[in-house]
Amino acid sequence: MSIFDLTIAGAAKELAARKVSAVELVTAYNGAVEALNPRLNAYITVTPELALAQAKQADARIAAGNATPLTGIPLAMKDLFCTEGVRTTAASKILEPFVPQYESTVSAQLKAAGAVMLGKANLDEFAMGSSNITSGYGPVENPWKRAGADAKLVPGGSSGGSAAAVAARIALGATGTDTGGSIRQPAAFTGLAGIKPTYGRCSRYGIIAFASSLDQAGPMARNVEDCALMLNAMAGFDVKDSTSAERAVPDFCAALNRGVKGLRIGIPAEYRMDGTNPEIVALWEKGISWLRAQGAEIVDISLPHTKYGLAVYYIVAPAEASSNLARYDGVRFGARVDGVDLIDMYERTRAAGFGAEVKRRIMIGTYVLSHGYYDAYYLKAQKVRNLMLRDFTQAFAKVDAILTPTAPSAAFGLGEKMDDPVTMYLNDVFTVPASLAGVPAMSVPAGLSAEGLPLGLQIIGRHFDEETVFAVSAAIEKAAGFTALPEVRAK
């Protein structure tokens, strides 16, 4: 067995038993990052010296007997979390020179738990995308390949660098953010577990904003237990985020062995969409039978407004993005391109600093918020969003959790689905409803496609009931017995 076979939980045990030191673990990971990152491009910035210094502190803490399960664990930090003294780009050229003077709450909590940061993970620019191809720092390569083929595949997005890093074992776990699926879809594309917690469960303070009413941080890791360990440290009320929830954080690990006996699991009719890959439908059926076999009751439900999900999301998210991204004006932080006057400087800076997808969203967002169109688009979208929330509320009167596929396909090739943006947006069809409703949702690896690529199932829960989501996810994980590994990985 190699050191790279350890999970977070496994590594924590080895560290506690002094069979391995944090310095040994982190040195191995630093080496793996150096070897594989030039190919995968999973990290935009690597921080090996910082990681080593944190590992030394971790060893001291373990020796002193006050370690947490994350002490000495090497993680990748999505480059959307502000990290004090470490460049934070959001994968945008406009933030290329930006070194934050403060730390995001989530990364600060991980630090406080003793976790080690290997570097800042690549993503779609400002987290806008489903494939990582919109990054201003080059695309990320998925460590998985189709059987017998060499074509490069995307890792999904926007947390694609986080996903590729964990799948290739150049991080033990990673932070992600999810606005419309950015934790769940890349987790599914790379054979990982990943949870978007309830909106408000983790603080958004210090996370570069995309769509503030949707953005939520969460963990991505090799299995469900590792996600629970990470979320224990990431979650919690924060006075610095007015939308963070003033609620106690339960021990999510305690929910893992609850089982699903007696739980009612909803299967939404509207997620059986025409044209979904038959393999995905078959996997969903398997998931249903696994839960039934473990004692869950399967209930047919309806989420009638599902068909509006993408339309609503692609109005609300760009609207909020256009407002949030107004701050990148070449004055306060980031890059500046000088012009003949102030307006010219703004225009040149934003023209040079933002990529095509970000510009597209700013234009759509500005349009739907403008006088005369606001009622027709933004207000209407907000109303339908409410109906979607009501769908979930009514469903959760009948069921404890909902099971669906995570994504309509396995990972696709770099260069595919790029002819028109709407084709790319269709990737998010199964993930955006939970985002719009603010409910927690997790993706768990559940099988392989005929081409040998990982496929995920999604478990959606009630607001603030991540525990049931973890329990059902653990049951799926157990039944699926997913052990496949990508060819490209640290060994």
Radius of gyration of the chain (CA): 21
Between 169 and 417, CB nearer to ligand GLN? 417
Q: Write down the least CB distance from residue 318 to ligand GLN, Å.
A: 8
- What does the DSSP 8-state code read for residue 190? H
Question: Kind of pairing, strands 173-178 and 74-78?
Answer: parallel
Q: Write down the least CB distance from residue 180 to ligand GLN, Å.
A: 3
Q: Whole-angstrom Cα distance, residue 298 to residue 480?
A: 18
Between 168 and 316, CB nearer to ligand GLN? 316
Report if residue 132 touches ligand GLN, rule: CB under 6 A.
no
Report if residue 155 touches ligand GLN, rule: CB under 6 A.
no
Sole binder of ligand GLN in the list 86, 127, 202, 234 (CB under 6 A): 127
Q: Which 191-250 positions form the footprint of ligand GLN (CB under 6 A)?
A: 210
Q: Whole-angstrom Cα distance, residue 311 to residue 444?
A: 26
DSSP, residue by residue, 71-106: TT-EEEEETTB-BTTB---TT-GGGTT---SS--HH
Between 26 and 407, CB nearer to ligand GLN? 407
* The two structure tokens encoding residue 352: 């040079």
Strand arrangement, sheet containing 74-78: 43-46, 116-121, 74-78, 173-178, 216-221, 193-196, 441-448, 454-461, 401-405, 264-268, 297-301
Known catalytic residue: 286? no
* The two structure tokens encoding residue 218: 């969460």
- What does the DSSP 8-state code read for residue 271? G
Report if residue 349 touches ligand GLN, rule: CB under 6 A.
no
Stretch that binds ligand GLN, among 28-36, 50-58, 111-119, 127-135 (CB under 6 A): 127-135
Catalytic residue chosen out of the listed positions 158, 159, 244, 473 = 158
Known catalytic residue: 380? no
Catalytic residue chosen out of the listed positions 135, 182, 244, 322 = 182
Sole binder of ligand GLN in the list 8, 115, 128, 437 (CB under 6 A): 128
Is the alpha carbon torsion for 47, 48, 53, 59 positive or negative?
positive
Report if residue 154 touches ligand GLN, rule: CB under 6 A.
no
Report if residue 135 touches ligand GLN, rule: CB under 6 A.
no
Q: Angle at the Cα of 171 (from 166 to 176), degrees rounded to 5?
A: 60
Between 91 and 256, CB nearer to ligand GLN? 91
Q: Write down the least CB distance from residue 128 to ligand GLN, Å.
A: 5
Report if residue 461 touches ligand GLN, rule: CB under 6 A.
no
Q: Residue 250 class from Cβ within 10 Å (0-12 exposed, 13-18 middle, 19+ buried)?
A: middle
How many residues does the structure list for the chain? 491
Question: Which residue's CB comes closest to ligand GLN?
Answer: 182
Q: Write down the least CB distance from residue 293 to ligand GLN, Å.
A: 33
Known catalytic residue: 78? yes
Report if residue 456 touches ligand GLN, rule: CB under 6 A.
no
Q: Write down the least CB distance from residue 431 to ligand GLN, Å.
A: 7
Between 280 and 317, CB nearer to ligand GLN? 317
Nearest partner of 254 among 229, 221, 235, 222, judged by Cα: 229
> Which residues carry out catalysis?
78, 158, 182
Q: Which residues of this protein are in contact with ligand GLN, per CB under 6 A?
A: 127-130, 158, 178-182, 210, 317, 428
